[in-house]
Structure 1
Amino acid sequence: MPQIVQLLASPVRRFQGRPADGPAPAPPGELVQEVRIRAALGIVGDRYFAKQAHRDATVTVIAQESLPEGTGLAQVRRNILTAGIDVDALVGSVLVLDSGDGPVRLKVQRPANPCAWMDVTIGPGAWRALRGRGGIRCTPLNDGVLRVGPVTATIETPLPTP
């Protein structure tokens, strides 16, 4: 059964400047048990919530299967870590997640490409290893709540345009 393994809602951006300088310290409480999502705005309390420049990519998702063992959201800075869902194959679709509080629909806009920071936070070679497996950037289509634990996941594919 698919799961939400971890959730991250961080009010600060930790990866700024040069990777060689290292990330900023993690704020307390950024790994959470549930997140509140607002349509077109993102995750309440997250650094990209309601930011115009990120409106089509306010929620990021990555598959645990793409990461080296022991790697979590604090290292990759995605919002949702799933298990049992091939998220990288979903660009152009709508990912619907329901962890018990009703469905949350996420329009998958584009890949979340890894950057050189991955070599610092995960280890040497991680940036290359995550190419094509760095997760997805999504726009939430409705308000809702997601929680860590089992999740029902469905995929809606868009209808072809005439």
Structure 2
Amino acid sequence: MPRIVQLLASPVHRYVGRPADGPAPAPPGELVDQVRLRGIVGDRYFGKAAHREASVTVIAQESLPPGVDLAQVRRNVLTTGIAVDELVGSVLTLDSGDGPVSLRVHRPARPCAWLDVSVGPGTWKALRGRGGIRCSPVNDGILRVGPVEVRVGG
């Protein structure tokens, strides 16, 4: 059964400067049980013109090393049971109980060198081609942690 494992809405950008400098501290409360979408309300990229086609990022738990969470990889939605990296160019619809939320999948979310600092050496290279997807919401709605119904369309 597909699930939403974690949701992240971070009001600040933690990876500033060089990876050798280390990330800024995580703000409290960025891992949440639900998010309202039109972008991720409360997230640092919400309503920013430069990020409209990438305002929601989704990654599969199956791509991550055991014990790694969204605070480390800086994606918004962590799923299991959904091959998200294969969905570029499609519309992913998720319904976690409050009605369907559709996301247009624009492009891969490529990993960056920060992952070698936030997760561990070798993570950047290991996640190439498995770093998740960058999406824009097609409609408003709410996503919650837990079981999710999934539809994929064109």
Which residue of 103, 125, 128 maps to 2:125?
Answer: 128
Aligned with 2:54: secondary structure? coil
User: What fraction of aligned residue pairs are identical, expressed as a percent?
Assistant: 76
Query: When the two structures are aligned, how many residues end up with a matched partner?
Result: 154
Aligned with 2:82: secondary structure? coil
* Structure 2 partner of 1:60: 57
* Structure 2 partner of 1:154: 151
* 2:93 alignment partner AA: V
Which residue of 88, 101, 106 maps to 1:91?
Answer: 88
Aligned with 2:102: secondary structure? strand
Written as runs of structure 1 = structure 2, the 5 A alignment for 1:1-162 is 1-38=1-38, 42-157=39-154
Q: Distance in 1 between matches of 2:10 and 2:132?
A: 18
Q: Distance in 1 between matches of 2:21 and 2:114?
A: 10
Q: How far is 1:72 from its partner?
A: 0.4
Q: Distance in 1 between matches of 2:115 and 2:148?
A: 27
Q: How far is 1:53 from its partner?
A: 0.5
TM-score, reference length from structure 1: 0.94
Q: Distance in 2 between matches of 1:6 and 1:81?
A: 5
* 1:26 alignment partner AA: A
Q: Distance in 2 between matches of 1:144 and 1:131?
A: 30
TM-score, reference length from structure 2: 0.99
The ranges of structure 1 where at least 4 consecutive aligned residues each deviate by more than 3 angstroms after the TM superposition are none
Aligned with 2:7: secondary structure? strand
* 2:7 alignment partner AA: L
